[in-house]
Structure 1
Amino acid sequence: MGSGLILRGRIVTGSMDVPDGVVGIDGGVITYAGPASEFPVLGLGGAEGALPEAAGRILMPGLVDLHCHGALGSDFSEGSAEGARLAASYLHSRGTTTLLASLVTGSPENLVRNVTVLRDLADEGLIAGSHLEGPFLASGQCGAHDLALLRGPDAGLVAKLFEAAGPSLVSMTLAAELPGAAALVEMLTARGVIPSLGHTAADHRTAASFLDQAATGLAGAGNSTGRIRPTVTHLFNAMPSLHHRSPGPVAASISAAHAGNAVVELIADGVHLAPETVKMVFELVGAENIALVTDSMAATGLQDGQYRLGTLAVTVNQGVARVDNTGAIAGGTATLLDVVRSAVAAGVPLQDAVRAATAVPASVLGLSPHVGDLPAGMRADLVIVDRDLDLAGVLRGGEWVTPLG
């Protein structure tokens, strides 16, 4: 199923916006994406006879999420292969066809166990790899992480994680100001693992130095992963607010992104950031330097109620997840398509929002030759939506994971 498939509608990617377009698929890859008027006949009566499954709809590349912790009742930090497969499959069905599985802070033993489980999922192609959010985070900016499990940068633990995860470990969030952070950045970048600035109380100088060192390290000759830019974990969240006399990590991150030397994550779900903040960042740094993310947790796809994020008890009320004993926001419950829709509602142009949810995160992962856009030869990952950006169908590798409705 999926071979010889032809879809017609408005094509919106980071590189094109075609009002009347056709996407052709064969053998799980894109064979054509462009104007209907230029589509080959292929024995179907020309472009006007192209199959009308997506008539009046929008065709977008499959979405790419750099930061999600789970869905459908499963948390990637549980260490359950079955639960992780369930969460990944659900996210695929909602349009996120490529994702990093994020782990919250845990004990060294649990982290090693969890990255081992996720390595198997990466080998199966269900996820693009793992993202460690911790345990090397600032205690004063721990957010929804277990304070008792935070620790300083530990090269020995990182070496064990490298061994357990192999090439599936893609990204690690850490606080720039912690003693030993610079040595850890060097250790990560030497293997092509992306350092991500986050959960930090660093001053401007320290944060800027972290991002500069990370960018320089990833650009080194020994890195063959295609990952060339560091990221900033959910900009504004779990870091000091921007102050005119103490600009801190927010200003350093915006400057680095504006220069093209970093990519900032934005959780544009209407909970983590005000719509005006989302629109402002797009205007300041450009869509090419932004990755829309979800920070999704186990409640994604389910109702309000009681859940867990790592070791912490979480209550979800009206779609907002908070840690029971601190009230801190505990990740998101939106899908990445929901986030795209919210960004557009905030005033971000559709093409910019799509670019920040597809091509940019794909480039961060070094996967641009395969996913994140729709030129001929790329994997046939497509999200089909209606004019209101509500989901109508999802293709992953040319196979329907959500049949066109």
Structure 2
Amino acid sequence: MNNESRVLCARKIGEALRHPGVPFAIRGARKIDANGVLDSAWLVSDGSAVTAVGTEPHMLDDALQEAGVSADHVLDAQGAVMTPGYVDIHAHGAWGSSFDDGPDGIAMARAGHMVHGTTRQVLSLITNPLDVLCRNLRTVRTVMKARPDVLGSHLEGPFLSPLHKGAHDPACLLDPTPDVVERLLDAADGTLRQITLAPELPHGLSAIRQFAEAGVVPAVGHCDADYAMAVRAFNAGARLLTHMFNAMKGLGHRDPGPIPAAVEDRRVNLEMINDGFHVHNPMVRMGWNFAPHRTVFVTDAMAATDCPDGRYKLGGLDVAVHDGHARLVSNGAIAGSTLLLEHAVARAVLELGVAPELAVEAATLTPARALRLDMPNRVTGRPIGLLAEGYAADVLLLDPDSWRVCHVWCQGVRIR
């Protein structure tokens, strides 16, 4: 798809999401979600929510009539895999644009993920000067009013350890003093979903408490925290571990670091970038076995996602992408990924042998639960993450052999 086609696609998706969906139904699918696998399944939606799911053919007609589904809006899946829409809580961009690039950049990057099945996304904002971060938070807040697919923002920085800063500008790193935290909270005005920070910073633990009290989910990451500090962070209110294994102390037999602290605390969910590059397959398998129902597939995707190799930007830093791997031009540090959740789920099932319902859970219900969106809430209204009655009609149909996304609905709106 060339850039002109992408711009047109982004506009069409943005326009479609401004209108309510049409009642629809899917039959003859292999339903897979965190509740398990159902063959010969059907699903009915009133154009906003899932109103009925089942396998008994004689019950489908009544469900269609009750939801007002016309015959020309019943799709025969012919054995395709049907899953909930994917939920990415940590990504920076796609299709040549970043979520820091204003409304047009957000629309373009969201389209790049939406067409591959990510129906809901938290927009991760890279470390920048404080004024720029506040402006970007306000932009996300405004965009959310017209886009149900945008869940809010994630600040990855500026409260990071200089020792594990990754692809973040060291000149912009700060200590999370109460006044700085308050400025960010005011700018977001209730739309900041999560923040990654290093708890060992002088005001790290107090910031975790401050963010948690404001309804934000703090995440431990880009840190030099040891095991004891990580335990303190989780007891202070942190509930996520940002991209496990990356930008933190590793697993040492006498210096265990933050990973075991997260694994042992059942309140904590653990992000993982399942691309085989950020975390090699043996470590993916080991990490998965640590906490299969608490592992969240994330992409950490940057602007080059679903684009050719070449030169790109991550914040104000230059990035070179070669063989799909993004690194800073200045020092070769890994600079996000070009991963899509579509590919993360597919490789979990097809390459790593993860049970399909567990792989789907890691990209749907677990991220929704991590941000408390698996129940009625003020962000999405209806819960997300399952194909079940009362949940938002975020639905995907996948090729059963390749697990490639073929059809997408977001809140009942047909996207492709």
TM-score computed with the length of structure 2 as normaliser: 0.88
Aligned positions, number: 380
Aligned to 2:372: 366
C-alpha distance in structure 2 between counterparts of 1:72 and 1:348, whole Å: 29
Deviation at 1:89, TM superposition (A): 2.6
Aligned to 2:173: 150
- Equivalent residue runs for 1:293-308 within 5 Å: 293-308=298-313
Counting only pairs closer than 5 Å after superposition, residues 65-76 of structure 1 correspond to structure 2 as 65-76=88-99
How far apart, CA to CA, are the structure 1 residues paired with 2:366 and 2:290? 16
Q: 1:341 aligned to 2:350?
A: no
Identify which of 140, 145, 148 aligns with 1:118: 140
Q: 1:280 to 1:36 in 2, by over 3 A?
A: farther
Correspondence for 2:260 among 251, 267, 274: 251
Q: Which residue of 1 aligns with 2:189?
A: 166
Counterpart check, 1:401 vs 2:410 = no
State the distance in 2 between where 1:4 and 1:139 align. 51
Secondary structure, counterpart of 1:167 in structure 2: coil
Q: Please name the residue that 1:86 is paired with.
A: 108
| Partner secondary structure for residue 120 of structure 1 | helix
Contact in 2 for aligned 1:304/1:318 (Cα 8 Å) = yes
Which position in structure 1 is the counterpart of 2:199? 176
Give the secondary structure class of the aligned counterpart of 1:19: strand
Name 2:321's counterpart in structure 1: 316
Contact 2:199 2:208 in 1 (8 A): no
Structure 1 unmatched runs, 5+:
216-229
Aligned to 1:222: none
Cα RMSD between the aligned structures? 1.8
Return the letter of the residue paired with 1:386. D
For the pair 1:391 / 2:413, whether they are aligned, the reply is no
Instruction: Give 1:278 deviation, angstroms.
Output: 1.6
- Letter of the structure 2 residue corresponding to residue 400 of structure 1: R
For 2:51 and 2:45, locate their aligned partners in 1 and report how far apart those are by CA, in whole Å: 5
- Is 1:60–2:69 an aligned residue pair? no
Matched letter for residue 138 of structure 2:
T
CA deviation string 1:143-175 (max 9, x = no partner): 010111111112212211111111111111000
Separation (CA, whole Å) in 1 of partners of 2:26 and 2:347: 29
TM-score (norm 1): 0.90
In structure 2, give the amino acid aligned to 1:204: Y
The equivalent residue for 2:121 is: 99
Distance 2:24 2:92 in 1: 35
SS in 1 for 2:237: helix
Query: How far apart are the structure 1 equivalents of 2:248 and 2:29?
Result: 42
Distance 1:275-1:34 versus aligned 2 partners, 3 A rule: farther
Deviations along 1:20-56, whole A, 9 cap, x unmatched?
21111223221212224463324989xxx99553112
| Aligned equivalents of 2:127, 2:356: Cα separation in 1 | 35
Contact 1:308 1:314 in 2 (8 A): yes
Task: Note if 1:32 corresponds to 2:41.
Answer: no
> How far apart, CA to CA, are the structure 2 residues paired with 1:141 and 1:400?
42
Is the contact made by 1:22 and 1:39 (CA closer than 8 Å) also made in structure 2? no
* Residue 233 (structure 1) aligned with residue 246 (structure 2): no
CA contact (8 A) 1:11 1:34 kept: no
Residue in 1 that maps onto 2:61: 41
> Is 2:37 aligned against 1:17?
yes
Question: What is the CA-CA distance between 1:85 and the residue it aligns to?
Answer: 1.6
The residue identity in structure 2 corresponding to 1:266 is M
CA offsets 1:215-256 (integer angstroms, 9 cap, x no match): 5xxxxxxxxxxxxxx110000000121111111112222222
Q: Percent identity?
A: 36
Give the secondary structure class of the aligned counterpart of 1:128: strand
**In the alignment, is the contact (CA less than 8 A) between 1:294 and 1:335 conserved in 2?**
yes
Name the amino acid aligned to 2:300: D
Select the residue among 90, 100, 122 that pairs with 1:77.
100
Structure 2: distance between partners of 1:348 and 1:188: 34
The corresponding residue for 2:331 is 326
Within 5 A, what are the aligned runs for 1:197-236? 197-214=220-237, 230-236=239-245
